[in-house]
Amino acid sequence: MREAALVDVRAEAKAHKDGDPLWAFRKALICEYVQGAKEELTELDWNTAEQFLEFVRMAALNERPANGISPLVPVFDHLDDDEPASLEPVDLNNPGYCETLSTSDLALSQQRGGLVEALGFPGSLQRAPDWYAQVQVTYHRWAREDLEGHQFQEDDSRFGGIPFHCTRFHNALEGSKEFAVKDNLIFLLPELDDPNRAGRLEVRDANGNVVVLDKVLAAAQLNADGTEGERVDFFAEDLAASASLASAVDRTNNLPLPKVFTLLFDYNTREAPLEEDQLKALRAELSTRNPEEPLRIAMTGHADCVGPRWYNTIISEDRVKNVFETVIKPTLLQKGFTEDTLSDDKRFKLAGLGESVPASNRDKGQSCEASDPDRRVVVVVQ
């Protein structure tokens, strides 16, 4: 009967193993958690030992925690309701943070981002399964000690308290870095108006070498010493698998982008901008904004160089006020913005610059002529 049961268990283990590219990682994870449970038992910490054995079972059966953050990475329960009050950064390159309770607590929170990133990146767990299993379990053990919070006294050092597990984690993380996709990764996103086009980025490394990136998702890696790392092919799948990278892309894609509108004026006029299309576009943009967002608008009025300077300053100020009062204010009031908000000069900045910043490229000393593009109000909506 026992043999029959074992056959079932082995068959199940084999089924989970076959075709699972993370099997080596799972196996290493089992070893690390079993070792952890053994050590906790010698400390008579039954609860933690039981928890670690539960993770052994999950690793064996390839169960993923419902709210786990990467395959087989457990929930880090110590931080669920207890983030450190401060966000003061810690020097994460210096394991000295393990030596005091306060810096250990901050480092525990701040190392998590890098840890999740390392464990979640495609290929990492296959390249160095043993290192990453050690990274996960040492972090987990450090976190447990932090949660229990009572093993920092010198006389408790025989039980392997926070400094011990924190230092083990630090060493494991440092060791794993050799196999990781580099921490310093840069890649290009497509331009907003064309998904097939990207800008251009020059990466200058510590040796002065220049890597040019000019295609969508073109990527570069840099080593810890600032030198260029190995060339990497970066794919959309990699981007999707990395929570923080995907989140950064989502944020930038969903951000209401600043827009610039240029309204042109007739010679010596303060009213009715000439350019109807720009006016319509400005109104359309304002009508997409809502009072809850911290909208900021900066407006500058300009004049051409014909006439006295003092007069040009006045007319440029009048043009700005006119656009604000007749176009911007009514549209935003209709959207629910209040008079108080609209009179906040930190958020709505109006300035008349006279003839001092011409739009046309007039050479120094060139005689002054009435110039259409100079007579304008520039509205920046942020």
Partner 1 sequence: MTPWMKTALTAAAGMAAVVATTPVQAAATDETALSLCKVKISADEVAKPSRRPTTVGFIKRVDGQVAILRPTRDGVDELKDEVGMDLYAFDAVVTGSNGGFDAIFTDNSTVSGVADTCLEISKYVYKPAEKKVEFRMRLGRGVVSVAAGSVAKIPGDSMSVKVRNDTNLAVTGTRIVIRAK
List interacting residues with partner 1 (CB under 8 A): 79, 83, 85-93, 102-103, 109-110, 112-114, 117, 183-192, 198-206, 222, 224-226, 244-245, 247-249, 251-252, 255-258, 260, 293-294, 296, 298, 346-347, 356-357, 380, 382
Least separation in angstroms between residue 218's CB and partner 1 is 10
User: Which residue, 246 or 272, has its beta carbon nearer to partner 1?
Assistant: 246
Least separation in angstroms between residue 91's CB and partner 1 is 4
Least separation in angstroms between residue 251's CB and partner 1 is 4
Least separation in angstroms between residue 334's CB and partner 1 is 22
CA atoms within 13 A on the CB side of 274: 12
Least separation in angstroms between residue 100's CB and partner 1 is 8
User: Which residue, 226 or 373, has its beta carbon nearer to partner 1?
Assistant: 226
**Cα(205)–Cα(180) distance, integer angstroms:** 19
Burial class (CB in 10 A: 0-12, 13-18, 19+), 361: exposed
User: Which residue, 260 or 368, has its beta carbon nearer to partner 1?
Assistant: 260
User: Which residue, 109 or 134, has its beta carbon nearer to partner 1?
Assistant: 109
User: Which residue, 48 or 109, has its beta carbon nearer to partner 1?
Assistant: 109
Least separation in angstroms between residue 190's CB and partner 1 is 7
**First-to-last CA distance in the chain?**
73
**Cα(103)–Cα(91) distance, integer angstroms:** 9
**Cα(177)–Cα(180) distance, integer angstroms:** 5
Q: 3-state DSSP call for residue 205? A: coil
Listed residue (116, 6, 112) closest to 72, CA to CA: 116
The residue written with tokens 């042109």 in the block is 264
Dihedrals phi, psi of 38, to nearest 5 degrees: -60, -45
User: Which residue, 137 or 198, has its beta carbon nearer to partner 1?
Assistant: 198
The residue written with tokens 């070498």 in the block is 209
